[in-house]
Amino acid sequence: MCLLRTINVQRPLLSNDILLIEEEEFEKLGDEIYIKVLASDRRGDEISKSYYYFIVNKLKQIGLLVDNAIGFKVVFPFKTKSDNISISDGIMFITDNKYLVYYYTKDYDYNCEFCPVQNECIYDLKTLAKLTNIKIRNEKLNDAWIYLIENVRRDVISSLKFMRVKAEGLSIEHKSLSEAKRIKQSIQITDIRSYLEDKRRLQNE
């Protein structure tokens, strides 16, 4: 069982980054409205303005959107257990012709034997295989997807140079960073005061 979604991307593409996001957040992206908002900056009639911007802000928080643009090339879901993380069997990626493909293997609508989107599934599978230069060796579609995801995942992990992690709830902050923020605010206040003084001086001349 799986969920497959494909949609044309109308937002600009900003990055070729590979992102890891929490499995719970990744699962939400399978929702038709979520994925439409991710792919396009045009709000349809089926979604309220407040809910649209709620989703946009959520997508920005997890790094998928940067300003108004797509901030990734490939996305993997991960889950945590104790002090370890593991990458789950799912993938989302942007094709060279600006299509977003979402595939997730978790108790969803489609069964390969009676799948209504089988042709689309085959096409997306071949697209990812071509994009990653990985040869497919499985006849069953679900097995082929898992094989492909595992190989892409292995290639990503083996080529990692560093990871930058964004974590919420941590009270750790560099003192120098706090000082930099204070200085920046002070400079901004000084600039405003200087501007007002210059303006008053010009008015009096």
* Per-residue model confidence as pLDDT tens digits over 24-52: 999 999 999 999 999 998 887 888 999 99
One-letter amino acid at 110 equals: Y
Write down the pLDDT at residue 12.
Answer: 94
Q: Specify if 168 maps to a domain.
A: no
| Claim to verify: residue 154 and residue 177 sit in the same structural domain | no
CB neighbour list of residue 152: distance below 8 Å, 6 or more residues apart:
74, 91, 128, 132, 134
Write down the pLDDT at residue 63.
Answer: 92
Write down the pLDDT at residue 195.
Answer: 47
| Claim to verify: residue 74 and residue 142 sit in the same structural domain | yes
Write down the pLDDT at residue 33.
Answer: 92
Q: Specify if 165 maps to a domain.
A: no
Q: Specify if 59 maps to a domain.
A: yes
Strands 18-22 and 74-81: parallel
Write down the pLDDT at residue 181.
Answer: 55
Write down the pLDDT at residue 194.
Answer: 56
> Tell me: the pLDDT tens digits for 45-74?
888 999 999 999 999 999 999 988 999 999
Q: Give the count of domains, the chain.
A: 2
| Bridge partners of residue 90, in order along the sequence | 104
| Claim to verify: residue 182 and residue 152 sit in the same structural domain | no
Q: Specify if 195 maps to a domain.
A: yes
One-letter amino acid at 49 equals: K
Q: Specify if 83 maps to a domain.
A: yes
Q: Specify if 166 maps to a domain.
A: no
| Claim to verify: residue 203 and residue 148 sit in the same structural domain | no
Nearest to 127 by CA among 159, 106, 152: 152
| Claim to verify: residue 86 and residue 124 sit in the same structural domain | yes
| Claim to verify: residue 122 and residue 200 sit in the same structural domain | no
Q: Specify if 56 maps to a domain.
A: yes
| Claim to verify: residue 180 and residue 148 sit in the same structural domain | no
Residues of the chain with pLDDT under 70: 1, 107-110, 167-205
9 lies in which domain range? Answer: 3-158
Write down the pLDDT at residue 127.
Answer: 87
| Claim to verify: residue 102 and residue 177 sit in the same structural domain | no
Rounded to whole angstroms, the Cα distance separating 113 from 192 reads 67
| Claim to verify: residue 200 and residue 151 sit in the same structural domain | no
